[in-house]
Amino acid sequence: MVAELRAAQARAVYDRIGRVQDWQFYEDRAIASLLANCAPETSHAVFEFGCGTGQLAVQLLEMLPPAARYLGVDVSPVMVGLATDRLAEWGDRAQARLVDGSMPLPVDDNSADRIVCTYVFDLLDDADVVAVLAEFERILSPEGLLCLVSLRPGITRFERLVSRLWTMVWRRAPQLLGGCRPIRLDQVLGPRWAIRRQHFVHSWGLVSEVVVGSGDRLADDRQFGPR
């Protein structure tokens, strides 16, 4: 049984839950950790893969330089509609676009110095991960940063129990969990990406992995530890 949600399935799930997506109790501290480590104040162009309701886009735009631009994409029309409404005050500096889950993405080569992707890789199967990372290599500028957050397997005994229970539910009915399951971003990225920062954020038995990386495999000053 293939448990991962394909693009059409994910669209249906997130069209249904879009208006309550911002209530995810375990995401806020992990997102705050990402923002603290991805230096948005020095960015000129941000691309977000899986922009959701635009909540993170708003936080980014409040930290970006005045001339910096933001582009987010999502497979859910409901999410894109919510994000577009939120981004209206930034005018043509910020856009949310609907995509169908196919590659290539409608983004120019070397056009972003930050790529942001939160709680999306834990939705993808192995083939989609490879395709998306190849697109990120194409889109990210040479000095840019890849900024990711995902659910990961538990670290403490209690967290490992929660992870096992979560995975059992995911295997049987992934739509009940929004398609998300625990993965390890450091393993997903592989040798083509250098990890500059790696934090683990613990929330009520769930662990989020926060990774900031680059395409420069020689630059690896990762930091470990809970946040």
pLDDT of residue 23: 52
CA 118 to the chain's CA centroid: 2
119 close to 27: Cβ distance less than 8 angstroms:
yes
**Per-residue pLDDT in tens (0 to 9) along the chain, 227 residues:** 233 445 555 555 555 544 545 556 688 999 999 999 999 999 999 999 999 999 999 999 999 999 999 999 999 999 999 999 999 999 999 999 999 889 999 999 999 999 999 999 988 888 999 999 999 999 999 999 999 999 999 999 999 999 999 999 999 988 777 778 999 999 999 888 999 999 999 998 999 999 999 986 444 444 434 44
**DSSP state for residue 26 in the 8-state scheme:** T
Strands 94-98 and 69-74: parallel
| Exposed e or buried b per residue across 197-216, where buried means at least 16 C-beta atoms within 10 angstroms of its C-beta | bbbbbbeebbbbbbbbbbbe
Overall residue count recorded for the chain in this entry = 227
Domains defined for the chain, CATH in brackets? 7-214 (3.40.50.150)
pLDDT of residue 61: 98
Residue 7 region by backbone torsions, left for phi larger than 0, else alpha for psi between -120 and 50, else beta: alpha
First to last CA, the chain: 36
Angle of CA points 171, 130, 60, to nearest 5°: 90
pLDDT of residue 224: 38
2 close to 181: Cβ distance less than 8 angstroms:
no
Strands 206-214 and 194-203: antiparallel
37 close to 60: Cβ distance less than 8 angstroms:
no
Coil, helix or strand at residue 195:
strand
pLDDT of residue 121: 93
**Crossing angle for the helix pair 77-87 and 7-17, to the nearest 10 degrees:** 50
pLDDT of residue 12: 54
How many alpha carbons fall within 13 Å on the CB side of residue 28?
5
Q: Is 17 exposed, middle or buried (0-12, 13-18, 19+ CB in 10 A)?
A: middle
Considering only CA atoms, give the Rg of the chain: 16
Coil, helix or strand at residue 196:
strand
Distance (Å, whole) CA 125 – CA 130 = 9
